[in-house]
Each structure stands twice: as C-alpha cells, then as structure tokens.
C-alpha cells in the first residue's frame, strides 16, 4: 500500500516560461517589477496542478514509500520514467537493496527473487522535460492568473482550470 511520496529534487525548468506567464497576465514585457513574484507563482501554480492531477508534471526525483511487499514483481502506483533503486527492511528488520529490472511500458518492477519486508523505498524519476500539452499549460496559466490577481484570496476554485487539467488526472501526460 502506497504510504508516501517524497520529492527529492525540484524541476530544472517549469512548463510555463516567465514570458508566457506575463503574456497570459497581460503584463508588458518591459515591466519587470513583479518578475520574481510571477516566477514564484509559476512554481506554485504547477504544484497546485500536480496536486490536482496526482502526478508530477516536470521531471524530478522522488522516493515512493510503500508499507509492505512480498512479491517477485510489483506494479508502481505512481508514474515513473526510470527507477534508480529499491530498498526495504526484510523480516529480520535488516535493510536490503533489491535487484530488479524496470519495465517502463508496464510501470512494473521485476525482482530477481521474491522479496518480503516493509518500509519499501523506491527511488524514481518522474515527469517530463518538454512537450507539455497546450491544455495542461492553459490550466496552469489559469491557476497562475488566479494566484496573481487574487494574491491573498482563496475564496473559489477555478472550474475552468480543473476542466483543462482533468484529462491528465491519473493518466499519462502525452
């Protein structure tokens, strides 16, 4: 059972550039007074979108923690582009490193032997570095617009942004 997902690294880049954000907010490119603030809001809007669709958008490293494992193969319940390591505590509570192969098409781990234990930690890379669908970007820009214009208000949920992001909820970002 999935217990926790921990982000190890922040994305190297965002799906929205400062220029795209300023165009969407209708801020002239020469006006730079809010650039740092808008840049921070881009990350916050992306994080909100990731929370909604329950998957990372931009490539980063994560540790996924599962309660228990007793298997020779294991389907990840979180999307991964690669898996770096699998560790667990065996039945004698000794920390073990599992030997495995990862099938990205199936999002499944195949262990060299049956492993049994708890506190299973799987280190993965997940998310994309480019090629973000336009509807995903538009959803993030809508959230960004709400954050920028509302600044301190959290009185509503942007239904249009949710509609733009819904196709990516629990599905691969293509």
Neighbours of 133 (CB within 10 A): 15
CATH class assigned to 8-57+130-168: mainly alpha
* pLDDT exceeds cutoff 70 at 172: no
Measure Cα distances from 18 to 47, 102, 140, 164 in Å: 16, 36, 13, 20
36-94 tens-digit pLDDT: 999 999 999 999 999 899 889 999 999 999 998 999 999 998 889 999 999 999 999 99
Mean pLDDT across the chain:
90
Enumerate the H helices of 54-156 as residue ranges.
Answer: 134-150
Provide mean pLDDT across the span 109-124: 94
Question: Residue 49 phi/psi, 5° resolution?
Answer: -65, -40
pLDDT range class, residue 166, cuts 50, 70, 90: confident
Range with the poorest average pLDDT among 2-6, 15-19, 127-131, 166-170: 166-170
Provide mean pLDDT across the span 106-133: 94
Neighbours of 167 (CB within 10 A): 14
Q: Which residue has the tokens 């319940």?
A: 77
Q: Report how far residue 119's alpha carbon sits from residue 50's, in angstroms, rounded to the nearest whole number.
A: 25
Q: Which residue has the tokens 């667990």?
A: 88
Q: Is 55 helix (H, G, I), strand (E, B) or coil?
A: coil
26-52 tens-digit pLDDT: 999 899 999 999 999 999 999 999 989
Every domain of the chain and the residues it spans = 8-57+130-168, 60-126
Nearest to 169 by CA among 54, 2, 48, 49: 54
Structure tokens at 171: 């599905």
């Amino acid at each position: 059972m999935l217990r926790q997902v921990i982000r190890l690294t922040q994305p190297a880049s965002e799906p929205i550039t400062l220029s795209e954000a300023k165009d969407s907010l209708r801020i002239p490119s020469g006006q730079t007074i809010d650039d740092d603030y808008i840049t921070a809001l881009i990350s916050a809007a992306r994080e909100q979108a990731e929370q909604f669709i329950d998957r990372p958008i931009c490539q980063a490293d994560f540790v996924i923690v599962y309660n228990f494992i007793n298997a020779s193969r294991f389907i990840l319940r979180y999307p991964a582009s690669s898996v770096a390591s699998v560790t667990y505590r065996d039945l004698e509570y000794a920390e073990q490193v599992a030997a495995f192969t990862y099938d990205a098409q199936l999002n499944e781990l195949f262990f060299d032997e049956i492993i049994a234990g708890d506190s299973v930690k799987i280190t993965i890379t997940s998310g994309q570095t480019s090629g973000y669908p336009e509807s995903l970007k538009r959803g993030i820009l809508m959230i960004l617009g709400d954050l920028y214009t509302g600044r301190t208000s959290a009185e509503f949920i942007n239904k249009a942004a949710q509609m733009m992001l819904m196709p990516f909820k629990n599905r691969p970002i293509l």
